[in-house]
Structure 1
Amino acid sequence: MRKFRTKVALPLVTAAMLAGSVVVSSPANAASSPIAACGGGSYHVIDHHNISGGVIYLMYNGRTNCAVTWKTANLGKSTPMDVWIARKNDAKSVEDEGSYAYYAGPVKIDAPGQCINWGGRISSSTWYSGWSHCG
């Protein structure tokens, strides 16, 4: 009887160890959508602009504006990117610039009822809004 337990226990322990060593990985901090990058919740897309290689999204939740530059090409490849948002009344601005595999941002600024300027860049393709969304 003792011999049988050893023969059964060893394969079970080995199988358990192998099962525990399987790891599924995904990109670190990669959000599934621009809204998810902003934190989800009550954010909704209020504007966007297509640029070469991606889209710059502007989202709002009733108080806070959030912007993300989202890649649509060369996903997973580190690319120089930028996203910014500024408030007109006091010229406060927030920017995220670096080399990213999926998106730049999010950048957020509270600006209910105030004009904002927002934009982004992927490699050499840049766009900015001028003062907008003033209400």
Structure 2
Amino acid sequence: MDSGAIRRRLTLGTVVLAAAGTLALVAPASAQAAANGSCAGRLVKTLPFSTGTVHVYKRNGYVCAITLPKKPGTKRMMSVSVQARGNRPVVDKGKYAHLAGPVTVHAGHRCVWIRGSVGRGSVSSGWTLC
């Protein structure tokens, strides 16, 4: 084998190792995005209630929320809403099997009111994240 072939194989090996390392770093982030229902940002509040949980995320002045049922898989009425103080609420309501939302509002530095429900259970945060 000549030195050119050796260099090509070493380069190819380096590229393959770099790609594998990049996939190892990207995979946890994409798994987190799928787990949180496509809300960007960091988890800042969890609001549990009898039939589910509302997860609230915040990033660059935006607040995003999703409602997850305790027992996913069966279609039932679910809702999630986020209201920045001084504005109307943004609502996602319907019959869902896995989650309601995401709903996102620009809150800036204003307080928000978060509500969520699954079936007959519900939660309401009051003014929070001020």
Global fold match (TM > 0.5) = yes
Equivalent of residue 82 in structure 1, options 79, 82, 87:
79
CA distance in 2, matches of 1:76, 1:126: 18
CA distance in 1, matches of 2:117, 2:70: 13
| 8 Å contact from structure 2 (residues 52, 121) kept in 1 | no
Give the 3-state SS of the residue equivalent to 1:32 in structure 2: helix
Deviation per CA, 1:52-99: give whole Å up to 9, x if none. 2321011001221001001221x21101100000011x2221000001
**One-letter code aligned to 2:59:** N
CA distance in 2, matches of 1:127, 1:44: 21
User: Percent of counterpart pairs with the same letter?
Assistant: 27
Deviation per CA, 1:26-75: give whole Å up to 9, x if none. xxxxx7312x422x4xx1110011112321011001221001001221x2
Equivalent position of 2:46 in the other structure: 48
Give the 3-state SS of the residue equivalent to 2:113 in structure 1: strand
Structure 2 segments unaligned to the other structure (5+ residues): 1-32
Larger relative helix fraction: 2
Equivalent position of 1:22 in the other structure: none
CA distance in 2, matches of 1:63, 1:32: 22
**Aligned residues between the structures:** 98
| 8 Å contact from structure 2 (residues 51, 122) kept in 1 | no
Alignment of 1:60 with 2:58, yes or no, is yes
Alignment of 1:123 with 2:119, yes or no, is yes
Structure 1 segments unaligned to the other structure (5+ residues): 1-30
Equivalent position of 2:34 in the other structure: 32
Give me the CA root mean square deviation: 1.4
**One-letter code aligned to 1:33:** A
TM superposition shift of 1:123: 0.4
CA distance in 2, matches of 1:58, 1:116: 11
| 8 Å contact from structure 2 (residues 64, 103) kept in 1 | yes
Tell me which structure has the larger Cα radius of gyration.
Answer: 1
TM-score by length of 1: 0.68
